Amino acid sequence: MPITKERKEELVAELTDDLKKAQALILTDYRGLPTAELAKLRNQLRGMKTGLHVAKNTLVEIALQRAGLPVPEDLLAGPTAIAFCYSDIAGSAKTINDFLKDKELKVKGAILGGSVMRGAEASALASLPTRDQLFGTLLGTINAPGTQVAGVVAAGIRQVLYLLKARAEQLEKQGTPA
């Protein structure tokens, strides 16, 4: 059953709005993937603040133009699912890559910051550290000098205590009360 012109306009408006909010788009092939499997991926991504949409390529092209983003026509060939990454790009890319690897499907490409990434470049997004990993690294870096100072101070105190303990044992051996 064909979609009415008004409904197409609504879909383009929704896609344009999502495109403007997203930090990155990941385009994947979903050929041969059952609807239930696509729903599983959608649920996994929902927890990462990433939306997964399947739309007609012509509608996506119009929405990309309206959002002021590049239109990679070669990536919009054949069935295409689009992941709209609103916050954690690397985490979403890892989830998608892991999911598609089991299904023998690939990431077609990505649009990040107005630039188009194809194939291996887009898959490389999955190797980036996630937002949580970056925060952990940053906190470790901030915390490191304080930890090192505490270690140096504690080492000095330990040395004094060992020295006092050794002197007390020495005095006890000599029979002099400590």
**Whether residues 68 and 89 fall in one domain:** yes
**Whether residues 62 and 11 fall in one domain:** yes
Mind listing the pLDDT tens digit for each residue in 138-152?
888 888 888 888 888
**Whether residues 119 and 144 fall in one domain:** no
Q: What is the model's pLDDT at position 178?
A: 54
The C-alpha angle 119, 48, 33, rounded to 5 degrees, equals 50
Count of domains observed in the chain:
2
| pLDDT (average), residues 47-61 | 87
Instruction: Give percent of the chain with pLDDT exceeding 90.
Output: 1
CA distance 3 to 7: 6
Q: Is a pLDDT exceeding 80 seen at residue 153?
A: yes
Tokens, residue 52: 């997964």
Q: What is the model's pLDDT at position 126?
A: 67
pLDDT interval class at 1 (50, 70, 90): low
Residue with tokens 């990505």: 110
**Whether residues 87 and 17 fall in one domain:** yes
Mind listing the pLDDT tens digit for each residue in 11-50?
889 988 988 888 888 888 888 888 888 888 888 888 888 8
Q: Domain range for residue 26?
A: 5-128
What letter would DSSP give residue 125?
G
**Whether residues 134 and 122 fall in one domain:** no
**Whether residues 10 and 54 fall in one domain:** yes
